[in-house]
Chain A
Amino acid sequence: MKIALFIPCLVNQMMPHVGIATVELLEKLGHQVILPKGQTCCGQPMTNSGCFDEAKKTTLKLLNAFKGVECDAIVCPAASCLVAAKENFHEFDDSPEAQAVIDKLYELTEFLHDVAPIPAYNKAFNYKISLQLSCHGIRMLDLATPSEQMGPRTNKVEAVLSSIPGIEIVYPDRRDECCGFGGTFAVDEGAVSAKMGKDKAQAHAATGATYAVGFDPSCLLHLDGMIRRQLLPIATRHIAEVINAAL
């Protein structure tokens, strides 16, 4: 398939290794990867602060970067940004061209589960990992059934990762409690955000896993800062890095 990458500003500027792993793994799976030019922020920091007017310019610029781009899917290695892009594109542009872009948007795990499953892994990943089930991915993108919901359960993240040879998947206590990042919440509500992050980092470390693995770079960046401040014996990895290492 021909895949256009949606690389959120945080990944582009601060976590390029997540983008690189995404490109490499998709290419290993036989896909053609392009990077449409002119991508900016999805507008989430502004809309989550209630500032829709301030979000419009950057959201539409990002949308325009994808309009008319020939591709089968637009894939993003960041669940929260993807959800915000979908909602904000819809908010500011109700044209058929915008809808065509929205219809092609997939978060990486979602794409690898729903659209183009991985036939087989060919390398082992001999580590215990503690899954970071970030909020927007599970509660807005249905990547995994949230713990509050009763009845049948699905977990696309575990489904994608579980066939990697040698991998052991565990979960922290209070498995899908928020890590406390929350965008500007991390600075507006510093004390509570930090306490949530500390609790989450400790819960991951308490599993004895080598890596805390997640699909949302912003949560991972926050957790990484907490883990290093607390000197905990665990490190963060994005799901793309784990998959790429096993291909």
Chain B
Amino acid sequence: MSSQTTALNSGVHAKKADIFCKDEARVDWHSKALWVLREKRDRAAGSLPEWEQLRQLGSEMKLHTLTHLGEYLETFEKNCQANGIVVHWAKDGAEHNQIVHSILAKHQVKKLVKSKSMLTEECHLNPYLESKGIEVIDTDLGERIIQLAKQPPSHIVVPAIHMKKEEVGDLFHDKLGTEAGASDPTYLTRAARAHLREQFLSADAAMTGVNMAIADKGAVVVCTNEGNADMGANLPKLQLHSMGIDKMVPDLDSAAILLRTLARNATGQPITTYSSFYRGPQDGGEMHIIIVDNGRTDMLKDKILAESLKCIRCGGCLNTCPVYRRSGGYSYNYTIPGPIGIAVGAQADDTHSIPWACTLCGSCSYVCPTKVPLDKIIHHHRRLKAKAGKLPYGKRNYMPLVGNFMASETMLNCSMSVARTALRILPGSLLKPFSGAWGKYRELPVAPKSSFEAWFNKNRGQ
């Protein structure tokens, strides 16, 4: 586990995936746990005759909103203010963190309870607030587990999916004083609940992420299964909600489209246990919404990348991704792993390798409830990386050679003829050192004597 944690933010994807793959039993377990979610999603989606129409509606509604984003954001701000909500704008993660801290500092907040927010992970809010002396408690069970384990999330919906229940049992024994060796999920969940109740009751402020921001109501929607967002937002007098500009939807009907697909696509549930709409502070309280850009308007400028902002963070693309399931959430050099992580994180990836952590199989694009064309976006990132001269795995050196080689029939025919002969007459032991990654894992191809073209010319007399 610790080796996985330290592996985050260092090394190309293939290297980290290679380490993850060393424990094959664990890979099988991880792959299966996530595939179960994909199967549940298939059953839930299949139960709605209008599923594909909902995907199309969701896609068109999000594209429409992104096309008129400025207007909707202004309407949202105006309606929020009319509801007594204070709206803040942050151009990047640093500004977001400063705004949050200034609000908390003004109220002398010592302890903040937080419910699931990938945006605050993206902005690295927790370490920032902790450096300012504020205690931050993540209250989603999965988030709390990884917070206690001092790990980042390995999945955007089930952040502790990489941990087995026995490991959670050991962690809770160490941190929460549960019985040694206890790993019954119900027992551990009860222990976590008792621990979290204390935190809710002693917190000075609550913070949540946002699933949808409704422009014409000046309201935000937060979806949880544990009710932790409500426990937080309804107890202390101060509540904060952070959202990316991409969370905007025009109205309640639009939100309803996404509410019908979000949980079905994430975990196979018809809807999350709680879908809470917040549209104003408690009596005598304060409600703040921090709207964050952090690179999103730059993405909007690129027609292909812009579509990644249709994402509603259901995690369905991670669950179906055959590469994510076999390389783990810590192999991506970005807070968000899997296909959507590549789509929104590739340009920030200084190893330049995550766009290649993909076979372009396209399963993610078909799973996506808002039809984000993930495989096309990933393909596009490769092109952008190539244009910038930032190619991984030695491609910058060998690709021009391959290009010339493939374009020359003479070179191709001569060398492939030699290769076929070598494959046929040389013993495997001699070939192995030259066969690289192919031969390390697979048998080399059985080579034919001649090419198809030679056969055709001989037998069909051209």
Contact = CB atoms under 8 A, between A and B. Distances in A.
Interface stretch (B130-138, B204-212, B293-301, B359-367): B359-367
A14 B386 contact: no
B442 A192 contact: no
B387 to A, nearest CB: 8
A135 to B, nearest CB: 4
Contacts of A58: 403, 406-407
A128 interface: no
Contact of A192 (B52, B327, B366, B367): B327
Instruction: Rank and list the top 3 A-B pairs by shortest CB-CB distance, nearest first.
Output: A225-B442, A182-B359, A54-B403
A52 interface: yes
* Main DSSP-derived SS at the A contact region: helix
Contact of B45 (A17, A150, A187, A226): A150
Contacts of A15: 448, 452
Given A15-B448, A150-B48, A174-B35, 20 more contacts: A9-B412, A16-B454, A19-B455, A45-B406, A49-B382, A50-B355, A50-B379, A54-B400, A54-B402, A140-B362, A146-B362, A151-B52, A178-B359, A187-B436, A188-B392, A190-B441, A191-B14, A191-B441, A225-B441, A228-B443
B406 A48 contact: no
A37 B462 CA distance: 10
B326 A192 contact: yes
Given A135-B363, A178-B361, A187-B437, A149 B52 contact: yes
Given A58-B407, A185-B358, A221-B445, A146 B363 contact: yes
B445 A35 contact: no
Contacts of B322: 177-178, 180, 196
A14 B46 contact: no
B407 A41 contact: yes
A195 B442 contact: no
B456 interface: yes
Contacts of B18: 190-191
Interface string A126-141: 0000000001100110
Given A14-B447, A41-B406, A177-B322, A48 B438 contact: no
Contacts of A162: none
A46 B399 CA distance: 7
Interface string A1-40: 0000001010111111111100100000000011101101
Interface in A42-100: 43, 45-46, 48-58, 61
A140 to B, nearest CB: 7
B243 interface: no
Interface of B: 13-14, 17-18, 21, 24, 27, 31, 35, 42, 45-46, 48-49, 51-52, 320, 322-323, 326-327, 355-363, 365-367, 379, 381-387, 391-393, 395, 399-400, 402-404, 406-409, 412, 416, 419-420, 436-438, 440-448, 450-456, 460, 462
* Main DSSP-derived SS at the B contact region: helix
B52 A61 contact: no
Contacts of A178: 322, 359, 361, 363
Given A40-B412, A222-B442, A7 B452 contact: yes
Given A149-B52, A185-B359, A189-B14, A11 B399 contact: no
Contacts of A17: 448
Contacts of B403: 46, 51, 53-58
Interface string A101-139: 000000000000000000000000000000000011001
21 contacts: A11-B452, A13-B451, A16-B451, A16-B455, A17-B448, A20-B455, A34-B462, A35-B462, A49-B382, A50-B355, A52-B386, A146-B366, A150-B52, A174-B35, A178-B322, A184-B395, A190-B440, A191-B441, A192-B327, A194-B441, A195-B24
